[in-house]
Amino acid sequence: MDLGLKSKTAVVTGASIGIGRAIAKGLAAEGVRVVGVARRTDLLAELVKEVGSGLITPLEQDVMAKDAAEKIAAFAVKELGHVDILINNAGGSRPLPVDAPDSKWDEAIALNFTSYRRIAHALLPQMIERKWGRIVNITGKSEPEGLNAAFAAKAAVHAWAKGLSREIGEHGITINCIPPGRIMSEQIRRNYPPDYRERFAEEEIPVGYWGEPEDLAALAVFLASPVARYITGTVIPVDGGLRRYQF
């Protein structure tokens, strides 16, 4: 299926590893020119070599840094000419005790919500001017097993994206969210031994196995394409059926 992505341009945050890396590679495979943003320059350099087509330009950047959104947007527009697609993927889990100080909550909200909002709003004016754009946010599950500031921040992303979709639809811009289920990563392999992963998959995941980054990347690339023009303001989990609520 031709997704109509050739000649499109994109920014992918958290592109050095895992889901972000898979999305960057998936977009590049469709002919998209990508600026990959991350803090780990060695892994970004490996990604550029792996793609081997000159379609990915690395940018070392901490998305929480002061003025990061403006710097990323300026670099990407200068490098690509314009930005059609934004993949908001940088973030991280933040389990907290009930007596955690405000600074810990502020850090989690800044990383998992504010950075998404700032980068999107920095790139929106040129999307509106061109009457086309795609924003895809990689978020988190809505069934927290305990207090985790990242879950609260990702819920904020869902609400912000839904509201924003009502404002930007007339400009040919869509915005959607993808909450991952149990997707294999460095952190997963480090923190969960194989026997636990196998038992969890058998008991909790209807399809019977943990997902790979490419499983989620397939949906992200589709949502970033012209083919997905009538899908906006949605939250679409990629979790092998893990979630238990019906909608």
Over residues 169-185, the mean pLDDT reads 95
What radius of gyration, in Å, describes the C-alpha atoms of the chain?
17
The model's confidence at residue 93, banded by pLDDT at 50, 70 and 90, is confident
pLDDT at 247 over 80: no
Whole-angstrom distance between the N-terminal and C-terminal Cα of the chain?
A: 28
Determine the pLDDT at residue 53: 79
Mean pLDDT value across residues 179-207: 91
Q: Would the pLDDT of 142 be above 70?
A: no
Q: What is the pTM of this model?
A: 0.95
pLDDT tens column, 10-29: 999 999 999 999 999 999 99
Q: What class has domain 9-184+213-228?
A: alpha beta
* Residue boundaries of the structural domains of the chain: 9-184+213-228
- Comparing 80 with 41, the larger pLDDT belongs to 80
pLDDT at residue 117 in the model: 97
- Cβ contacts of residue 35 below 8 Å, gap of 6+? 9, 10, 11, 12, 56, 57, 58, 59, 72, 75, 76, 79, 80, 83
Residue 143 has pLDDT above 90, yes or no: no
Which run of H or of E encompasses 88?
A: strand 85-88
